[in-house]
Amino acid sequence: LYVYGNDGGQITLTISAQVQKAALEAMGNYKGTVAVYNYKTGEILCAVSTPTFDPDEVPDIAGDQQTYEGVYLNRFLYSAYTPGSIFKTITVAAALEQLDNRNAWSYTCTGSVSYGVDAVTCMIPHGTQNLTEAFRNSCNCAFSALADEMGPQVLQRYADQMGVTGSLIFDGITTTPGNISVIGEPDVLVAWSSVGQHKDLVNPCQYMTMMGAIASGGIGARPYIVAEIDGGQWGTYTAQTQYGDRILPEDTAELLGKLLRNNVYSYYGDWNFPGLKVCAKTGTGEVNGYNNSTFAGYVENEEYPLAFIVVVEGGSYGQVTCIPIISQVLAACK
């Protein structure tokens, strides 16, 4: 940094060059973002946004718009994506607190739920499931039943409470807010919103932080990227860990964590994350025939308190596209 008199002027970031490099390589030619932060301290270890560019060879956007489309957009901080089924984490959090019969709750999926002229569908019939199984199977029909039972006001309240519709402010950055629009909407659109469709939008940085709060028992560390500034005679700055508001009671966060953990060890496969206890949810956000592949979660291991998110624009399903990416990134964190 420039400092008058050339005394000092050093800035230290929290970013790990090793993890950042692994993330950039893992993303390959995909557009999107992958990020990891320490949910106990708030340090951002990785915040890749692609496509990117070499600052020594600044792209000629005016002359070559196709090649450099979106190259200056930091997708981690300033994008808002249709999330797909990672949003079910919020819906199931509401269900854990709002359903009187949550332990006995079950639903039989036939592959479709009719709402008159419209319907909510699954790719396959999932049969009879309890809440844990419906979350693991990512059953849209079961979650539409939860939305019908809880109502739009509850969904809106939990999205707001868990921070999805707000912005994060740190190091002079204000992230793009997310969105959920369910109040006054037809039942079928409320149902689609409960599974991360309709008008749902999430910001990757904020959603990663929400996962960190779940991992921490309902209150997570706020992210930051500037660790220290040496300003010479003008003084120094050293970051301090700060915590956000409580998004869930501790017992609810613990139950939700068990469901997220079950997704990985009983469905996605622990073998994707050797030596790590990963708790997560995949998603595929569909927008006019275009998919956003998503994966968000955290690591339970005491020595690796890491929350993460991956978003790939135009990818396949979250499990197919995003898990191989974050597997490489988390390995680089060890």
For 326, the enclosing helix (H) or strand (E) is helix 318-333
Band (pLDDT 50/70/90 cuts) for residue 62 is: confident
Band (pLDDT 50/70/90 cuts) for residue 49 is: very high
Give the separation between CA 43 and CA 225, rounded to whole angstroms: 6
Band (pLDDT 50/70/90 cuts) for residue 66 is: low
**Average per-residue pLDDT in the chain?**
93
3-state SS assignment for residue 129: strand
| C-beta separation of 222 from 14 below 8 A | no
Q: In the numeric block, which tokens belong to residue 45? A: 């270890």
Q: What is the per-residue pLDDT across 227-237, written as a single tens digit (0 to 9) for each?
A: 999 877 777 89
Band (pLDDT 50/70/90 cuts) for residue 326 is: very high
Q: What percent of the chain has pLDDT over 90?
A: 82
pLDDT on residue 296: 98
| C-beta separation of 212 from 296 below 8 A | no
pLDDT at 315 over 90: no
Dihedrals phi, psi of 131, to nearest 5 degrees: -65, -45
pLDDT at 180 over 90: yes
Range list of β-strands (E), the chain: 10-13, 31-38, 44-50, 106-109, 112-115, 118-121, 127-130, 169-170, 173-174, 226-230, 236-238, 278-287, 290-299, 306-313
Q: What angle do CA 261, 266, 268 make, to 5 degrees?
A: 85
Give the separation between CA 47 and CA 81, rounded to whole angstroms: 16
